Amino acid sequence: MAFNILIVDDSSSIRRLLRKIIELSGLEVDRIHEASDGLEALKVLEREWVDFIMCDIHMPQMDGIEFLRKLREDEVLGRIPVIMISTEGREEIIQEARKLGVKAYVKKPFTPEEIRDVIEKFVGEEFSRDAGPH
């Protein structure tokens, strides 16, 4: 099964890096979509289905926490698993993200191995059971 992924980060270099890590991870990928903030990500999700989202917290227009809240308001979009990747270290913000259903949290700066390991663990847990529509 090939995955559709959405990368949401205001840094184009981080988006490119995550794309490259995913491509080199061996994960079978159909499409990788990108957005520079939560508002743009919601527009992508209006027209594209994704299997999971990798999202930053600190972004202009709509940050990652507000984006998560908007996702959770929608019955279908609210079921899309999210991996947070951020410089944010404040425990209260991380806990809020977890309460909003974030499946994993990776702190920047990260290594390619950390991202690959989270994706491998995450994909195994989430998709080995054929959870959700594809």
Q: In this structure, is residue 72 part of a structural domain?
A: yes
CA 36 vs CA 11, 59, 129, 133: distances in Å: 7, 8, 31, 26
C-alpha to C-alpha distance for 123 and 95, rounded to whole angstroms? 22
Q: In this structure, is residue 49 part of a structural domain?
A: yes
Q: Which residue has the tokens 């529509």?
A: 133
pTM: 0.90
Q: In this structure, is residue 117 part of a structural domain?
A: yes
Quote the number of domains for the chain.
1
Spatial CA neighbour of 100 closest among 66, 132, 133, 124:
66
Per-residue pLDDT reduced to its tens digit, 39-89? 999 999 999 999 999 999 999 999 999 999 999 999 999 999 999 999 998
Q: In this structure, is residue 134 part of a structural domain?
A: no
Q: Which residue has the tokens 């499409």?
A: 31
Q: Which residue has the tokens 């990747």?
A: 85
Residue 30 is part of a domain; what is its CATH number? 3.40.50.2300
Task: Give me the domain span that covers residue 71.
Answer: 3-125
